């Protein structure tokens, strides 16, 4: 089966600009996650979707970050306006609705804010 797809792979923007990332999960995976991974750290969950509904966005900086998952398939994560500290890799993952089910990760988007 095809893996989790993400685009773009790399993005460089200036602070205060906006940026959007796209994720296409594995077909049939109802749960979708966005993680932020700052250099030298483990990934940190930003938001979790179940189909097209938000399950957990408690760690999403809502003043500048937004995410949506229309039709319960693809998802976009947006940052507006970007700050220097948003430089990180943004990982998308999906999983089947099984207890303890494995999360499958995409290749990530490396964002550099200058």
Partner 1 sequence: AQTVTQSQPEMSVQEAETVTLSCTYDTSESDYYLFWYKQPPSRQMILVIRQEAYKQQNATENRFSVNFQKAAKSFSLKISDSQLGDAAMYFCASLRAQKLVFGQGTRLTINP
Per CB under 8 A, residues contacting partner 1 are 31, 33, 40-45, 48, 55-56, 89, 91, 93, 95, 100, 102-103, 105-108, 110
| Encoded tokens for 98 | 């099984």
- Cβ atoms of 76 and 21 within 8 Å: the answer is yes
Least Cβ distance, residue 54 to partner 1 (angstroms) = 13
Least Cβ distance, residue 81 to partner 1 (angstroms) = 25
Nearer to partner 1 by Cβ, of 42 and 63: the residue is: 42
Least Cβ distance, residue 16 to partner 1 (angstroms) = 26
Among all chains, which residue has been given the structure tokens 């940026």? 19
Strand, coil or helix: what is 43? coil
Tell me the CB-side half-sphere exposure of residue 105, using CA atoms within 13 A: 12
Nearer to partner 1 by Cβ, of 67 and 93: the residue is: 93
Report the distance separating Cα 43 and Cα 27, nearest Å.
Answer: 23
Nearer to partner 1 by Cβ, of 19 and 94: the residue is: 94
Total residues belonging to the chain: 114
């Amino acid at each position: 089966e095809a893996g989790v797809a993400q685009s773009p792979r790399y993005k460089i923007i200036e602070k205060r600009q906006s940026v959007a990332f796209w994720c296409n999960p594995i077909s049939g995976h109802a749960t979708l996650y966005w993680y932020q991974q700052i250099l030298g750290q483990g990934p940190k969950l930003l938001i979790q979707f179940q189909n097209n509904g938000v399950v957990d966005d408690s760690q999403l900086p809502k003043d500048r970050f937004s995410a949506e998952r229309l039709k319960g398939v693809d998802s976009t994560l947006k940052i507006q306006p970007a700050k220097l500290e948003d430089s990180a890799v943004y990982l998308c993952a999906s999983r089947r609705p099984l207890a303890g089910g494995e999360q499958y990760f995409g290749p990530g988007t490396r964002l550099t804010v200058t």
